[in-house]
């Protein structure tokens, strides 16, 4: 049986993040990957230089072309950039009854450049979060969405609960931006209960595309029929290995090694 997954995200010409990373992850998991490009970025290991959104009607039609023909067992949503694209993706989800949706809340790049127009954040919260099954914000994104300052695990739990009230069943607040000594703690909130995932903190600058990789790994697992908690656990372990075996490419932040293992 062939399992299929669709990534709706921006293109990273340097290959470490965006649809390029997502398709690598799908391949590593033995899943047939497809894409709907939302934005063309100009970037490298030093950061995002510029970006140009794909017209919203083309985004919608890309999704239509895939799901009406091949279908998608699971879908990852990443960088959308504009309010028009947010609305187009939401409409596609509704029109085509798309399920198993994992959303990576791509708002800013690591060098601080907005990847979602500030004017589109409220629409994203109102449209995309309620149709999501799993949301994977990092600390900064969780703070932006909720207005809660995060300085502790308890704060991460509070934001996870608040985000779940926005309509998403499962929230993962990633702790990579808030290391606890030699540990990184991710907070998962699922069906009213918390799961804390602890992993060793890896001393490396090669973290380009970590969020994309995690969300697409969860998507790949869901496409294979795994339940959410199992999918999240396997994806997190995969990301840990990808970071520990990361690639020193370029002059800035290198990429994760998406093929450190083939699952």
Residues with catalytic roles: 174, 207, 209-212
φ, ψ of residue 71 in degrees (nearest 5)? 85, 165
Q: Which two tokens stand for residue 127?
A: 């449209």
Question: What is the SS3 assignment for 50?
Answer: strand
* Residue 133 CB contacts under 8 Å (≥ 6 apart), including other chains: 99, 100, 101, 102, 168, 169, 170, 222, 228
Give the number of residues written for the chain: 263
- Which pair of tokens denotes residue 124? 């994203």
CA distances, 130 to each of 69, 90, 135, 234 (Å): 26, 10, 10, 25
Q: What are the DSSP calls for 97-135, one per residue?
A: T--SEEE----B-TTS-BSB-GGGHHHHHHHTGGG-SEE
Torsion of CA 240, 158, 221, 14, to 10 degrees: -60
């Amino acid at each position: 049986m062939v399992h299929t997954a669709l990534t709706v995200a921006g293109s990273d010409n340097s290959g470490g993040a965006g649809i390029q990373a997502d398709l690598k992850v799908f391949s590593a998991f033995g899943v047939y990957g497809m894409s709907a490009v939302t934005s063309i970025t100009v970037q490298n290991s030093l950061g995002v230089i510029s970006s140009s959104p794909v017209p919203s009607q083309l985004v919608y039609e890309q999704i239509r072309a895939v799901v009406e023909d091949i279908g998608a067992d699971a879908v990852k949503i990443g960088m959308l950039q504009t309010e028009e694209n947010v609305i187009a993706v939401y409409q596609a989800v509704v029109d085509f009854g798309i399920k198993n949706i994992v959303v990576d809340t791509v708002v800013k790049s690591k060098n601080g450049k907005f990847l979602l127009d500030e004017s589109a954040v409220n629409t994203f919260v109102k449209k995309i979060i309620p149709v999501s099954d799993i949301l994977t914000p990092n600390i900064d994104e969780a703070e932006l969405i909720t207005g809660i300052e995060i300085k502790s695990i308890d704060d991460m739990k509070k934001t996870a609960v608040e985000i779940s009230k926005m309509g998403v069943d499962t929230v993962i607040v990633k702790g990579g931006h808030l290391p606890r000594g030699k540990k990184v703690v991710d907070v998962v909130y699922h069906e009213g209960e918390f799961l804390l995932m602890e992993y060793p903190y890896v001393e490396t600058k090669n973290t380009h595309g970590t969020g994309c990789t995690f969300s697409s790994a969860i998507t790949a697992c869901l496409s294979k029929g795994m339940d959410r908690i199992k999918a999240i656990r396997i994806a997190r372990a995969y990301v840990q290995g990808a970071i520990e075996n990361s690639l020193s490419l370029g002059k800035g932040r290198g990429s994760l090694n998406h093929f450190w293992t083939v699952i």
